[in-house]
Amino acid sequence: MQTRLTINSTSQTHDVAPATLLVELLRDDLGMTGTHIGCDTSQCGACNVLVDGVAMKSCTVLAIQADGKSITTIEGLASGDTLHPMQAAFREHHGLQCGFCTPGMVMAGLEIVRRRGHDLTTEDIAHDLEGNLCRCTGYVNIIKAIQAGAKAMEPSNA
Amino acid sequence: MRDFAYARPSSVADAANAFAGGGEAAFIAGGHTLLPAMKSRLRMPDTLVDLGSIPGLSDISRAGDTLTIGALATHATVAGDATVAAAIPGLASLAAGIGDPQVRNRGTLGGVIANNDPAADYPAAVLALDAVVTTSAGSHAADDYFQGMFTTALADGEIVTGVAFKVPQASAYAKFRHPASRYAVVGIFVAHFADGVRVAVTGAGPGVFRWAEAEAALSADFSVAAGAGLTLDPADLNTDIHASAEYRGHLAGVMLGRAVTAAR
């Protein structure tokens, strides 16, 4: 079945079986392995991508349901060698250990900024990360990174 | 996931036709219950009928004392909608507590109540707020709609199109949520109307139900004190690895008090 979508600003058409998950299209068909599959049961958030700017779990969206939509994955955030401010903040604040959950955490961070703006409390971030699991760090540095990343994304800081 | 045929109709009538001609068919909205069930092969539809492209099914409007929400309205939409917050703040806060932010961006009101999971949140609101479920075939009063675990008044192929909630004087939802799944171990929705109080319980038993004893006590006196000490009979409640029936019966009383305290 044909699905036409825009992935990281490039419009494209793919022929997919209806049962293909969006994350399977990204990883298996397109080789974009930055989006991870942690649990495959909508719990962990490692597969978060933005669909028309809104974060969703790509393990629980069919590729054909994304027809006509614009998808942003972790590969689409940096400009050349310049990291997105949210990515840079994760590096600066060491918001990762093994890194497996990180793509989903970065996308969740962008979702929090979309909904709450640039001045985030640690409580707001901790609350809104309830759909993202990290099994290494204990979240402290992830929360710091999102707080700093949100601030760095403010237009006046760009 | 086993493969299936896929249809994306652009009207409710076309959706009903696609379902009727689709063998063992299933409707999909947000898919956050159906797709996991299909992955584990608990559900293996021949045809998936995607309701996501049907226009007008996610509208929210208020007319007098009726708040109408389209079936495709996501939990995030309901949680953030100013009309909902002004009319029934308890409903907005319920929607804000379903799943997690990413789940709320996909899951829909219609999907939840068509599925009628016994631990889902929305059924408690629909029942306590004396709502009417509108469908492709007509409508159902909430008191007739919910018929136990994963069972509703919907006929095969009937599509939920919206829910019309009665706007109460005050309402609130209090849930003791499972920390991993966010489903309700026990959830209580209290709705205070001019002519009495309705109390609905989710998560505790095999399906959502009204709590007559609590309704009588709170209708006489809408206060925490009036409901203090009430518990549900464990004989009718669920026991599982998360909580015993006795625990749920007691927890219902605690959640009742919290809901009355929070009601506005």
Q: What angle do CA B197, B118, A56 make, to 5 degrees?
A: 105
Q: How many CB atoms lie within 10 A of CB B256?
A: 28
CB B237 within 8 A of CB B205: yes
Cα–Cα distance measured from residue A7 to residue A158, given in angstroms and rounded to the nearest whole number:
24
Angle at A103 between CA A51 and CA A83, to 5 degrees: 95
Q: Which residues of B157-189 are buried (b: 16+ CB within 10 A; e: fewer)?
A: bbbbbbbbbbbbebbbbbbbbeeeebbbbbbbb
CB A35 within 8 A of CB A71: no
What is the mean predicted confidence (pLDDT) over B217-238?
Answer: 97
Burial of A112 by CB count in 10 Å (0-12 exposed, 13-18 middle, 19+ buried)? buried
Query: What's the first-to-final CA gap in chain A, in angstroms?
Result: 41
pLDDT, residue B8, reads 97
Contact residues, chain A, for B29 at CB < 8 Å: none
Per-residue pLDDT tens over the stretch B92-144 = 999 999 999 999 999 999 999 999 999 999 999 999 999 999 999 999 999 99
Distance CA B191, CA B198 (A): 5
Is pLDDT above 70 for B186? yes
CA A153 to each of CA A105, A110, A112, B14: distance values in angstroms, whole numbers, following the listed order: 16, 9, 12, 45
Flag if A41 and B36 touch (Cβ within 8 Å). Answer: yes
| CA gap A85, A73 in Å, rounded | 15
Name the residue facing A128 among B8, B101, B182 (closest C-beta): B101
Phi, psi of B202 (to 5 degrees): -125, 160
> A47 phi and psi, to 5 degrees?
-100, 10
What's the pLDDT at B180? 85
**Contact of A13 with A30, CB cutoff 8 Å:** no
Q: How far apart are CA A15 and CA A38, in angstroms?
A: 25
What integer pLDDT is reported at residue B10 of this predicted model?
97
Task: Determine the pLDDT at residue B74.
Answer: 98
* Residues on chain B touching A18 (C-beta within 8 angstroms): 3-6, 48
Strand partners, B232: none
Stretch B78-89: mean pLDDT: 98
Distance CA B9, CA A156 (A): 45
- Predicted confidence at residue A156, as pLDDT, reads 84
On chain A, the residues whose CB falls within 8 A of the CB of B28 are 62, 65
Tell me the C-alpha distance between A103 and A93, whole Å: 15
Using the 8-state DSSP alphabet, how is residue B63 labeled?
E
pLDDT at B48: 98
pTM, entire model: 0.96
Predicted pLDDT of residue A158: 61
Best to test chain B binding among A3, A65, A105, A135 (most B CBs inside 10 Å) = A65
pLDDT at B181: 86
Q: What is the pLDDT tens value at each position of chain A, 158 positions in all?
A: 999 999 999 999 999 999 999 999 999 999 999 999 999 999 999 999 999 999 999 999 999 999 999 999 999 999 999 999 999 999 999 999 999 999 999 999 999 999 999 999 999 999 999 999 999 978 999 999 999 999 999 998 76
Which of B1, B50, B101 has the CB atom closest to A19's CB atom? B1
| pLDDT-derived band at B259, boundaries 50, 70, 90 | very high
What tokens does B173 get?
A: 């939802």
B contact test, residue of A39, A50, A57 with most B CBs within 10 A: A57
| Strands, E assignment, B20-143 | 25-28, 47-50, 60-63, 66-70, 132-135, 138-141
Calculate the alpha carbon distances from B117 to B98, B103, B152 in Å: 13, 16, 10
ipTM of the shown complex: 0.96
Whether chain B has a CB inside 8 Å of the CB on A65: the answer is: yes
